[in-house]
Amino acid sequence: GAVVSQHPSWVICKSGTSVKIECRSLDFQATTMFWYRQFPKQSLMLMATSNEGSKATYEQGVEKDKFLINHASLTLSTLTVTSAHPEDSSFYICSARDSGGASYNEQFFGPGTRLTVL
């Protein structure tokens, strides 16, 4: 149980284009999902908290118009990197909390998406 998928696993795009990344909880419902960014050999940096049916909460320094988040259902959140530039190249990881699980704030992570912007 507690499986989270991400799609695509990797994407290469040209500068100026937009890229959408999907995060799905496969066997549980998640009212809250999280989007992280990770640089090589570093820890995870929280970008935003995605709340089902409401607006996402962004961390300080993260542009909400640049990183659009939609959480339209209890099993799907999407992150769209708009007008991507080379500096947006990174490993993006989502996680989800099991709404029906224990209240220990356990997060289950997707396998990540490697974004390369040329």
Partner 1 sequence: TQLLEQSPQFLSIQEGENLTVYCNSSSVFSSLQWYRQEPGEGPVLLVTVVTGGEVKKLKRLTFQFGDARKDSSLHITAAQPGDTGLYLCAASGEYGNKLVFGAGTILRVKS
Site of interaction with partner 1 (CB under 8 A): 2, 4, 6, 32, 34, 41-44, 46, 49, 91, 93, 95, 97, 104-112, 114
Instruction: Output 2 or 82, the one with its CB closest to partner 1.
Output: 2
Instruction: Output 85 or 114, the one with its CB closest to partner 1.
Output: 114
CB 94, CB 4: distance < 8 Å: yes
Provide the minimum distance between the beta carbon of 83 and partner 1 in the complex, in angstroms, as a whole number: 26
Provide the minimum distance between the beta carbon of 103 and partner 1 in the complex, in angstroms, as a whole number: 9
Instruction: Output 110 or 117, the one with its CB closest to partner 1.
Output: 110
Omega of the bond leading into 111 within 30 degrees of 0 (cis): no
| Rounded to 5°, angle at Cα 35 from 40 and 32 | 150
CB 68, CB 55: distance < 8 Å: no
For residue 71, what are its two tokens?
Answer: 């959480």
